[in-house]
Structure 1
Amino acid sequence: RLCHEQRTRDYRDTHLADGKTKKDILRLLKRALCRELFPLLCRP
């Protein structure tokens, strides 16, 4: 996703500018992805 989606790259660049490490950014991306997918999994 980081290689293909512009929205994700913008998210990474914003957090890099804030001084986050690559490891922190991957953790944040995983959490954001879970927030996006969990409601889809819970639909009947």
Structure 2
Amino acid sequence: MAKAAEELDISQPSLSYAISTLEKEIGIPLFEKDGRNIKLR
């Protein structure tokens, strides 16, 4: 997430919040999270 946020020139918490909000809106998780690992579903 940190690298993605850096590429998008936004903070990591802002990116996490945006993803979380989108997941809630569409009703499904977009990523599988396992500790520090994350992958697209």
Q: TM-score, normalised by structure 1?
A: 0.43
Q: Please identify which structure carries the higher strand content.
A: 2
Q: TM-score, normalised by structure 2?
A: 0.45
Q: Please identify which structure carries the higher helix content.
A: 1
